[in-house]
Chains A and B, each alone.
Chain A
Amino acid sequence: SQTIHQWPATLVQPVGSPLSLECTVEGTSNPNLYWYRQAAGRGLQLLFYSVGIGQISSEVPQNLSASRPQDRQFILSSKKLLLSDSGFYLCAWSVLDGEQFFGPGTRLTVL
């Protein structure tokens, strides 16, 4: 069966510090991978998605970046965090535009 992992679960970082969030998927090959951000009490904002290794589509211009170094690994990064980067970050995988399977999320607080 397929599983999706995200870590860390929670993170508190100072403004200006770097960020690296990791997401890995097991039990499937060549999935579409997605990074979303969710502000408190709001819906999901798609940040990046990837249909294959090294292929990244950016949906929202900002100081975040994403990379897919391996088929089932998706990394969200920032060189310098802003206060506005605080939120709940969710990774998901899917096949084409079918149902998406979400990880448990990372709660990021930038102070």
Chain B
Amino acid sequence: SQQGEEDPQALSIQEGENATMNCSYKTSINNLQWYRQNSGRGLVHLILIRSNEREKHSGRLRVTLDTSKKSSSLLITASRAADTASYFCATAPGGNKLVFGAGTILRVKS
């Protein structure tokens, strides 16, 4: 079963705007990861945040983690048309596995 649930399911914004995607999960985790998938391609790892971290940055990406609420958010600032893709959160509950959510489809209009 999928643990991560992304919200919204789909998001359409104008180029230059910020995009925020949220992820909720159910059980305790070692880390939470965000991935990106372009249509018909494999997933690409974006960022990993450990359970003892609250915020992490990578370029235009900002990820927050609230373990008390079992939620995370991914913020993409100053979006570009090339950011159009599906974004997935994945939780590591332990045991060498990741559990992926259903994803958010982001469309950035130029």
Q: Which residues of A contact B (CB under 8 A)?
A: 32, 34, 36, 41-46, 49, 51, 59, 88, 90, 92, 94, 96-105, 107
Contact = CB atoms under 8 A, between A and B. Distances in A.
B25 interface: no
A46 B45 CA distance: 17
A103 B48 contact: no
Contacts of A99: 33, 45, 48
Contacts of A101: 45
Nearest to B30: A97
Interface residues of B, number: 26
Given A42-B102, A43-B101, A44-B88, A32 B96 contact: yes
Contacts of A32: 96
Contact of A46 (B44, B92, B97, B105): B97
Contacts, number: 62
Interface of B: 2, 4, 30-31, 33, 40-45, 48, 88, 90, 92, 94-103, 105
Contacts of B92: 97
A104 B30 CA distance: 27
B79 to A, nearest CB: 21
A18 B101 CA distance: 30
Contacts of B100: 36, 43-44, 46
Q: Give the top 7 A-B pairs by smallest Cβ distance, nearest first.
A: A102-B42, A97-B92, A43-B102, A99-B45, A44-B100, A102-B43, A43-B100
Nearest to A105: B42
Contacts of B97: 34, 46, 49, 59, 97
A96 B50 CA distance: 14
